[in-house]
Chains A and B, each alone.
Chain A
Amino acid sequence: MIKIDNATDIKDIARGAVLLGTGGGGDPYVGELFLQAQLKKGNAPRVVRLEDAPDDALVITIAGIGSPSVMLEHLASEKTLLEILRRAERLYGRPVDMLISCEIGGVNSMFPLALSAISGLPVLDGDGVGRAIPRTEMSTFSIYGCPATPGLILDESGNSVVIETVNDLDAEKVVRAVTSALGASVFGAFYPMTGAEVKRVAVNGTLTKSQEIGRCIREAREGSLDVFDTLLGHLNQDGRFATILFDGKIVDVTHETRGGWHWGRATLKPLSDADDVFTVDIQNEFTVARRNGETVTIVPDLITILDRESGEPITAERLAYGQRVKVIGYSADPLLRTPEGLCVIGPRNFGIDEDYRSIEELTKS
């Protein structure tokens, strides 16, 4: 099982989580420091394999919800994190046995670990998507029949709102409205599942994967190896596929807020004088990458942009003109690529008027 007992271990998970966050999911930095502070107090998180969840266990997700920029000001409260567990147990009428991340990409890789460190409850090695997603209903938990609600939201002042909706599309709307009313940075406890259910619907092994990706980048850098060779070697395992989509510099980035989402587009050009134009569209996360107008990777497959020297993954908010980067495409977990998955997290769910084609098909031709 993965080891989390020093700052480097945490940083590795965070770095991997940014890569899997495919531009979004929120910078894990706040969660990283939260965990570090717990380690300094002698509280370490405990991670167990997904397979080891007892069938009758009560498993829930714990997440920070809201605007990443607001979280960078409000940070996170230890007291509130422990309190939401107590209120969740009151809501569900029984003790919670285990925690799981709803979204490994970004900051919510960290909060279940933080609560584990505080409460002693174990965290399962997996999550509800294997990347980051802009909306609740795109979770594999939702797709495969485990609804987000009943669940609750809690702020640091002690205000909590229990949410019970008829489907997860509505849950998303209500959670957004409540989060906004409470100051745009809150904790949520959702997706009550049994151990038997979670083993069926979760993306397996993603905490481990996140740490391995982070470690792979760090060790390659420390050993002066080629970060991208090492990283691609690691990602191209277990039937998954990854490749470098583009190598160049960012020549333009646009950002705008519409309907509560961060929209934008990064435009890249090669470092040489070639005329190629590469674009990456942003809808909280990176959704589609195109070379000279031809799609090369599209949701739910992952697109990630990394500093071309250090291999450090860069979030959409941090993209800036002039950065020298490499863009990596990475096949999504098989759970997202089924017909059921694609009708919820396919390109059209992001308003992109084209059918899903796998990164393998798009890049191997």
Chain B
Amino acid sequence: MRDILRLGFDVGGTNTDAVLMLGREVLHTAKSFTTADVRSGVVDVASRILRDWGGPRERIEAVMIGTTQFVNAFVQRRGLAPVAVIRVSLPKADGVPPMAGWPDDVVEALGSSVHMVGGGSFYTGEEYAPLDVYAVRAAAREAAARGLRSFAISANFAPMRPDIEERAAAIVREEVPDATITLSAQLGGLGLIDRENATIVNASLADLGRKVVQSLIEAFAELDIHVPIFISQNDGTLITTDEAQRFPILTCSAGPTNSIRGAAFLTGLSEAIVADIGGTTTDIGFLRKGFPRETTAANYIGGVRTNFRMPDVLSIGLGGGSLVRQRADGAIRVGPDSVGFRLQQEGLVFGGDTLTTTDIAVRSQGIALGDSGRVAHLDDAFTEAALDAIHQAVTDGIDQVKTSSQPMPLILVGGGNILISRDIKGASQVLRPKHAEVANAIGAAIALVSGRVDRLYDLSSGGREGALATAKQEALAAAVQAGADPDAVEVVDVTELPLTHMKAGSVQIRVRAAGPLATLR
């Protein structure tokens, strides 16, 4: 495969970073601030990188973007669409209604309406009750009368019988032609509650998904770059803008995944601790076999349990904009509050009047950043004490993430990596690779394209081998469909779970396949 010239972006809560890469080579990087409209921040940073490069923009073949816009919105309960939830399950499941375990504040913020209607299937795919089309229609009308346009539809064993949800969706569309509908089968896995939760979270992000993705598309139209745009999803692989717009939830943990994979790429290490030091927080993750270690327990997005596996990341309140204060007893406190994206106005070295961790770094290391004269007055003892506090916070965080006392390499990435100037206890070495400040955008630019399946397979026809082979074929086909190179795509993960209490054997199989982006033109 020849090397593809592409732009990688990380649109974070504070910064928008970009990188121009040819194959494995980083040609140019740039950093900017994220703007409220997303678009102008992207245009700004892309314009600068293109100017630095000076080549013809029609040579660029792909754009890859990682963004935390959606997860931030859900966590902050901001810009969420009220959702009409329709669950097809009666007479089953009425004891555990949709959103049963959700935090009250999300339920309130969503102002959703919940409907349970008749229908559903056994694990065999056989229906135990027909879809109650009248109840679906009534639910759609009621929701429409309340002004709801975003629908989440779930049904039990939907991964086996996706048609039941699709029929319900068709009825909703008849009643509410402009409805945005998320079906649970589209979000994979067995386990109704977690799958349904993900469906509702996704539906609540529908408006925002449209807005953000459209503004990204506009940004590249404005830049006169007309190539496929891919968005990073949770496992670090890529999906299309169309898919991201319909399934913003798939992007929710792409941020930490990209920074950990970017760190792996930049250092060539496959086992290490990665600390991504941003403006407000430091996210510490564990790199294992070149991928982030994932959580083993249930995963929560803004307090809601979902079926998505997430990178296991510890977030601590330390970043380049963290406030540094001296308490009455003389002790130094660092963070967790931060000036965040206002660092360039409020930090001392930038002419502001708030003492931040960045000011301490400039004072102690003489880094050429802002006006170092503005921090010359800080006395040595104070600066040392602040440095102690900063390094202690990172040391403690790393110790929590590590699973043994054995020292491991520590990779520092993110714009705030300048805060760390000393050795860290528990780290065999501290690496600060070139381009560390844009590791996240690099993680987006090096991503593979993936496909996955997660459903029940019947063992009676082809046996276990037959079921596994079918599942692998389906996952490979899904990856190629998403844009992976058919010659390089491979199965990366297989999990099988047997089901007890069943007549014929069936087995739940999850397979994930991934491969590099196919040549685009």
Interface of A with B (CB < 8 Å)? 7, 29-30, 32-34, 36-37, 65-70, 72-81, 114, 156-158, 176, 179-180, 183-184, 249, 255-257, 260-262, 271-272, 284, 307-310, 312, 314, 317-318, 320, 322-324
Contacts and interface: CB of A to CB of B under 8 A. Distances in A.
A308 B503 CA distance: 37
A76 B93 contact: yes
Interface stretch (B22-30, B143-151, B190-198, B481-489): B190-198
Interface in B199-248: none
Interface of B: 89, 91-97, 100-101, 120, 122-124, 128-129, 156-157, 190-193, 288, 293, 296-297, 400, 403-404, 406, 495-503, 505, 507-508
B507 A257 contact: yes
A308 B402 CA distance: 11
Which 7 residue pairs of A and B lie closest in terms of their CB atoms, listed nearest first? Answer: A257-B498, A75-B93, A78-B95, A67-B501, A156-B91, A271-B404, A183-B122
Q: Which residue, B96, B122, B193, B505, has most C-beta atoms of chain A within 10 A?
A: B96
Q: Which residue, A68, A183, A271, has most C-beta atoms of chain B within 10 A?
A: A183
A67 B156 CA distance: 14
A130 B121 CA distance: 34
Contact of B89 (A75, A323, A324): A75
A16 B425 CA distance: 36
9 contacts: A29-B193, A66-B501, A74-B93, A77-B92, A180-B501, A255-B497, A255-B498, A307-B297, A324-B403
Contact of B96 (A76, A180, A256, A257): A76
A211 B193 CA distance: 24
B404 A272 contact: yes
Contact of B500 (A260, A272, A307): A260
B107 to A, nearest CB: 10
Given A156-B91, A318-B296, A257 B157 contact: no
Contacts of B505: 257
Given A29-B193, A79-B91, A322-B293, A183 B123 contact: yes
A179 B502 CA distance: 9
Given A72-B191, A77-B91, A262-B500, A307 B157 contact: no
Given A69-B508, A184-B122, A272-B404, A77 B94 contact: yes
A4 to B, nearest CB: 16
Given A30-B193, A36-B101, A318-B296, A69 B93 contact: no
A323 to B, nearest CB: 5
Contact of A77 (B93, B157, B498): B93
Given A37-B100, A77-B95, A72 B499 contact: no
Contacts of B128: 156-157, 183
B13 to A, nearest CB: 27
Contacts of A65: 501
Contacts of A156: 91-92, 128
B35 to A, nearest CB: 39
A317 B255 CA distance: 29
B286 to A, nearest CB: 10
Nearest to A70: B123
A72 B403 CA distance: 31
A249 B403 contact: yes
Contacts of B297: 307, 310, 312
Contact of A30 (B96, B495, B501, B502): B96
A73 B406 CA distance: 42
Contacts of A262: 498, 500
A158 B296 CA distance: 38
Contact of A73 (B91, B94, B157, B293): B157
Given A179-B501, A312-B297, A184 B93 contact: no
Q: Which residue, B403, B498, B503, has most C-beta atoms of chain A within 10 A?
A: B498
Given A37-B100, A157-B128, A307-B297, A72 B91 contact: no
Contacts of B192: 72-75
Contacts of B157: 73
Contacts of B495: 320
A257 B499 contact: yes
Nearest to A69: B499
B500 to A, nearest CB: 5
Nearest to A30: B96
A260 B157 CA distance: 20
